[in-house]
Amino acid sequence: MNVRVLLILVALGLMNPASADHAVILVYHHVSTETPPSTSVTPDRFEQHLDYLAENDFDVWALDRLLDALFDATEEVPDNVVAITFDDAYQSVYDEAWPRLAERDWPFAVFVNTDAVDQGLKPYLTWQRLRELAEHGVLIGNHSASHGHLLHRLDDEDARQWEARIRADLEKARDRIADEVGRDAAVLAYPYGEDAGELHDIVRSLGFRGLTQRSGAVGPDTNPQAIPRFPVATGFDSIDRLARAVHSRPLPVADSETRPARNQGFVQDPEAVRLSIRPEGFRPGALNCFSGAGERLEMAVEAGDLLSVRIDVAGRGQPGRNRVNCTAPAADGSGAFYWFAFQWLQKHPDGRWPSG
């Protein structure tokens, strides 16, 4: 095919767009001016986000379509694909987000903690509203029944009892969603974004894909039970931040763990986080890692077939969720960043579980 013919076909849209093999998933909670800023964006800012996606030629795909394409190779994923999700099924999703998304004919997903809906608690949506969303093509996903800290064991609860309780909780939510909206989406969003290998095993055995609240793009090498999503809320909702997020690519991390290692997601005051990274697509010499508070962390890097990265986190652990974000610029000069986020959980010094 000569160059002139190729250019004509591209201009006419008769050539398939280049496959990107990655995409970005965004997670919102409230779209409101009257809810906690830490879990909210204003309706005006949400509108600005949608405008940015439209003006920069992003395709907004349904979540299940995207995950099937990436993990089951049902179709190629072109460049600039985004999926939009909402956790907790708050009323503002129906009142503020849905009309704006429907105007553009853009799909989205809502993850439901079913006990709150069954109890008629405010400001959660009712089953009637959720059925209405589902009838218009919105994916209704599992956010557990209890919305508890799934990795926390009860007093005197052993590993087998914990597993049975968590399995029952997730199955209860799955059954309630199927009963009320007529479809089991087989996708779980972890409450509070808290996950670990032991929980992944349960989620996998139940046939779910699992979504976190850790920043990063998703690709075919992503663990299907630990799929990253960029959390969007006040303070992390600027257009510049959105642009960095939606243009990001998955940093090819082959292995990650704390030193000492986590147990069910928890480790007390680790000294380091170690990553093994395939040196592909990004500039290894420009890799940087940051604490959840945005402080640059000291690193030691050893080159090889896999890049071995030791990140110093000594003294930085706090009760609750702790995160490390690592980014590196793409080697192709596009300005995109490869991105990976790591999380560990930590108890209070007296052994109490964190409550928030």
Structural domain span for residue 325:
253-346
Residue 15: is its pLDDT beyond 80?
A: no
Please state the pTM of the whole predicted model.
0.93
Q: Domain tally for the chain?
A: 2
Identify whether residues 78 and 210 lie together within a single domain.
yes
Domain stop point among 249, 270, 291: 249
Where residue 165 sits, what CATH number does that domain have?
3.20.20.370
The string of pLDDT tens digits covering residues 114-160 is 999 999 999 999 999 999 999 999 999 999 999 999 999 998 999 99
What would the 3-class secondary structure string for the chain be? Answer: CCHHHHHHHHHCCCCCCCECCCEEEEEECEECCCCCHHHEECHHHHHHHHHHHHHCCCEECCHHHHHHHHHHCCCCCECCEEEEEEECCEHHHHHHHHHHHHHHCCCCEEEECHHHHHCCCCCECCHHHHHHHHHCCCEEEECCCCCCCCCCCCCCCCHHHHHHHHHHHHHHHHHHHHHHHCCCCCEEECHHHCCCHHHHHHHHHCCCEEECCCCCCECCCCCCCCECCEECCCCCCCHHHHHHHHCCEECCEEEEEEECCCECCECCCCCEEEEEECCCCECHHHCEEEECCCCECCEEEECCCCEEEEEECCCCCCCEEEEEEEEEEECCCCCCEEEEEEEEEECCCCCCCCCC
Q: Are residues 260 and 316 in the same domain?
A: yes
What is the pLDDT at residue 3?
36
Residue at which a domain ends, from 249, 268, 287: 249
- In terms of domains, do 240 and 313 share one? no
Same domain, 37 and 165: yes
Domain boundary among 234, 249, 264: 249
Say whether pLDDT at 17 is over 70.
no
Q: Is residue 57 part of a domain?
A: yes
Predicted confidence at residue 62, as pLDDT, reads: 98
Pair 111, 143 in one domain: yes
Same domain, 165 and 76: yes
Look at residue 156 and tell me if it is in a domain. Answer: yes
Based on the domain organization, do 131 and 276 belong to the same domain?
Answer: no
Q: Do residue 120 and residue 259 come from a single domain?
A: no
- The answer to whether residues 11 and 115 belong to one domain is yes
356 within some domain: no
221 and 297 co-located in one domain: no
> Would 353 be classed as within a structural domain?
no
Is residue 160 included in any domain, yes or no? Answer: yes
Task: Work out the mean pLDDT of the chain and round it to a whole number.
Answer: 93
